Structure 1
Amino acid sequence: MEWIKLIGILIILVGFIFKFDTIAVVIIAAFTTALVSGISITEFFTLLGEAFVKNRIVTIFLLTLPMIGISERFGLRQQAVILIEKMKGLTTGRFITLYALIRQLAGLFGIRLSAQPQFVRPIVNPMAQAAANARYGKISEADEEIIKAKSAANENFANFFAQNTFAASAGVLLISGTLTSLGYEVQATSIVLVALIIAGISFVLIAIDNFLFDLKMDRKYGKKSSKGGQKS
């Protein structure tokens, strides 16, 4: 009857199929598995508590959600928009390129940022939208969605291609350790040098893509005149 210990997997499958609460399904599956395996209720909660404490770093990101919500509630988004509107000549593409550069520099110095919820949604996208509105006036909803997508995509590009430019990053250590275990003596610095080249190439491509986006927007909307009208 050892197979009965797999009942937790069945519970998870059924829970996910019927779209029950994920956390509740996982806990019930774990609790049921513990009971059929001969683990007492006290031992189960002890194991659950120990696992939570050992992996509590994983749940720290949850603290950022209410913090960002509170910041937005008290005008973070509005102040970011006002700041961008005061910067003459700053286009959406230039701003997003600047943010991509900041993200790559953060990776170079080993600064890890969960930037989609903390920066892109509440700050980067509104500022990119503000740059477009300041330059062109009201833009279409379709272009607003494109700017939103470009803000998120450039965050991913910059973070992904620059995350191994720091010698002590998890990716560099994993690559170095794996190659060493296979008989290839590779130094972490060698991996970083290659990653720097890739990061540099990716940034050039990011800058070109954003520059072309600005040209496309200029052709579509023209530039606002000093009196708020559109140039022909």
Structure 2
Amino acid sequence: MTELNLLPLIGIVVVVAGFAFRFNPLLVVTLAGLITGWAVDLDWLSLISTFGEKFMNARQLASLLLILPIIALLERYGLQQRAKDWIASIKSVTSARILMVYFVVRECSSALGLLSLAGQAQTVRPLLAPMALGAAANTYGPLPKEIQDKISAHAAACDNIAMFFGEDIFIAFGAVLLMDAFLRENGIQGIEPLHIGLWAIPTALAALIFHCFRLARLEASLSQDVQKYIQQKQETSVVEGEMQ
């Protein structure tokens, strides 16, 4: 019976410890890979070759690593504030209308396979959420943190839901191809990826209608939340005045 070698599992320990101490995730994963390679007696050239191969197979990750510093630099020089100020200058715009327009654009672009055209890091956080917050502040005035978090959460949900239902229409999407392969393997013929994409359109339209209704309710709830906040603030002021 061969002895089980547990030394290669040290990479898992490195990852857990690195994330627990909140070190840079990229450095933690790289270090864990190097240590694991050393633990399995992989020579240095083979280890670097393996890293290069995996890096080339995940070129989309490399583009993401290039995009994030650019977004961070733009935010540092006031991208969010500029977005808020621009939206605040438009009197007729509301948070719900901004989110509805984004939902339509995001779902249509996802249906065309343009999944990386927008996203949480490159669009929602630096642009969409500040614009929605600016529109709400323009309508209701300064907002408490609870209401701001609520609007930001709806902005993030718009991106997730629109992409989730829109990408199923794209015939080259991985899930569509997986369903097509599964049907073929089980002897179900006559169904092409185009058919699967077409049948995803009613679901995407239903998601659009339901989410727009949800966003319309959001706009109504914001007014109620602001009124409650103002009332609580007035009551607190009265109590503090009586105590003095």
Q: Which bracket does the TM-score occupy, shorter chain normalised?
A: 0.7 to 0.9
**Aligned equivalents of 1:54, 1:193: Cα separation in 2:** 31
TM-score normalised to the size of structure 2?
0.81
Higher helix share: 2
**Aligned equivalents of 2:54, 2:217: Cα separation in 1:** 50
Unaligned runs of 5+ in 2: 20-27, 228-244
Match of 2:165 among 161, 168, 173: 161
Letter in 2 for 1:133: A
- Give the aligned partner of residue 40 of structure 1: 43
Match of 1:66 among 59, 66, 69: 69
**Aligned equivalents of 2:38, 2:182: Cα separation in 1:** 36
User: In the superposition, relative to structure 1, how do residues 112 and 78 fare at CA in structure 2: closer, same or farther (>3 Å)?
Assistant: same
- Could you give the per-residue CA deviations for residues 77-119 of structure 1, whole angstroms, max 9, x where no partner exists? 2221122112222111121111111100111222112500000
Task: Kindly state the Cα deviation for residue 17 of structure 1 after the two structures are TM-superposed.
Answer: 4.0
Alignment of 1:191 with 2:223, yes or no, is no
Task: Kindly state the Cα deviation for residue 220 of structure 1 after the two structures are TM-superposed.
Answer: 3.8
- Could you give the per-residue CA deviations for residues 28-80 of structure 1, whole angstroms, max 9, x where no partner exists? 112321x1xxx433333233323323333332211111111122233322221
- Give the aligned partner of residue 37 of structure 2: 30
- Give the aligned partner of residue 232 of structure 2: none
Task: Kindly state the Cα deviation for residue 192 of structure 1 after the two structures are TM-superposed.
Answer: 1.0
Match of 1:80 among 80, 83, 90: 83
**Aligned equivalents of 2:50, 2:18: Cα separation in 1:** 27
User: In the superposition, relative to structure 1, how do residues 61 and 98 fare at CA in structure 2: closer, same or farther (>3 Å)?
Assistant: same
Partners of 2:147 and 2:225 within 8 A in 1: no
TM-score normalised to the size of structure 1?
0.85
- Could you give the per-residue CA deviations for residues 107-146 of structure 1, whole angstroms, max 9, x where no partner exists? 1222112500000100011001001000000111100111
- Give the aligned partner of residue 176 of structure 1: 180
Q: Percent identity?
A: 27
Letter in 1 for 2:99: I
Match of 2:58 among 55, 58, 71: 55
- Give the aligned partner of residue 101 of structure 2: 98
- Give the aligned partner of residue 7 of structure 1: 7
What secondary structure, in the 3-state scheme, does the structure 2 residue paired with 1:163 have? helix
Match of 2:92 among 81, 86, 89: 89
**Aligned equivalents of 2:57, 2:16: Cα separation in 1:** 30
Alignment of 1:219 with 2:224, yes or no, is yes
What secondary structure, in the 3-state scheme, does the structure 2 residue paired with 1:60 have? helix
What do you get for the CA RMSD once the two structures are aligned? 1.9
Moved more, 195-204 or 57-66: 57-66
Unaligned runs of 5+ in 1: 223-232
**Aligned equivalents of 1:57, 1:140: Cα separation in 2:** 38
User: In the superposition, relative to structure 1, how do residues 160 and 70 fare at CA in structure 2: closer, same or farther (>3 Å)?
Assistant: same
User: In the superposition, relative to structure 1, how do residues 2 and 163 fare at CA in structure 2: closer, same or farther (>3 Å)?
Assistant: farther
- Give the aligned partner of residue 202 of structure 1: 207
